[in-house]
């Protein structure tokens, strides 16, 4: 079984709809992240959470919100989807360490906003 799972894997929605992307992990990691990937722009951080009570904005958080329901679950919501939010979305997890903590990525969700 995969350590980091994302649901759904593919989603097509319409402009203005609210949608939620979910991430679950069985790695026992305390830190979780949401990224989006666009051709030519690379991976960009949307939100990150160092524990259940800690939520932080990344570089492109406008139009998104998150919820850390438990240590193992981190959800990303688009309150009112717009076409330029069409992208690949990845969840990642890491374990707090003394030196750099390696992030492990999920399989991704391909989101299309029409």
Partner 1 sequence: EDQVTQSPEALRLQEGESSSLNCSYTVSGLRGLFWYRQDPGKGPEFLFTLYSAGEEKEKERLKATLTKKESFLHITAPKPEDSATYLCAVQAASNTGKLIFGQGTTLQVKP
Chain residues that interact with partner 1, rule: CB under 8 A: 4, 31, 33, 40, 42-45, 48, 50, 58, 88, 90, 94, 99-108, 110
- State which residue, 26 or 80, has the beta carbon closest to partner 1: 26
- State which residue, 6 or 75, has the beta carbon closest to partner 1: 6
Structure tokens at 28: 């026992």
- State which residue, 15 or 74, has the beta carbon closest to partner 1: 74
Minimum distance of partner 1 from residue 98's CB (angstroms): 10
The CA radius of gyration of the chain, in Å to the nearest whole number, is 13
CA distance 79 to 84: 14
Beta strands in the chain (DSSP E): 4-7, 10-13, 19-25, 31-38, 42-51, 54-57, 64-70, 73-78, 87-94, 104-105, 109-113
Minimum distance of partner 1 from residue 33's CB (angstroms): 8
Q: Please state whether beta strands 10-13 and 64-70 pair in parallel, antiparallel, or not at all (unpaired).
A: unpaired
- State which residue, 44 or 73, has the beta carbon closest to partner 1: 44
Minimum distance of partner 1 from residue 48's CB (angstroms): 6
């Amino acid at each position: 079984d995969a350590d980091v799972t994302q649901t759904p894997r593919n989603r097509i929605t319409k402009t203005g709809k609210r949608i939620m992307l979910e991430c679950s992990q069985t790695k026992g990691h305390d830190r979780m992240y949401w990224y989006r990937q666009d051709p030519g722009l690379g991976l960009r951080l949307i939100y990150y959470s160092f524990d259940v009570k800690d939520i932080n904005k990344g570089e492109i958080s406008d139009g998104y919100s998150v919820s850390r329901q438990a240590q193992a679950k981190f959800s990303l919501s688009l309150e009112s989807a717009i076409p330029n939010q069409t992208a690949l979305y990845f969840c990642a997890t890491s374990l707090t360490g003394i030196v750099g903590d390696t992030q492990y990525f999920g399989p991704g969700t391909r989101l299309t906003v029409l």
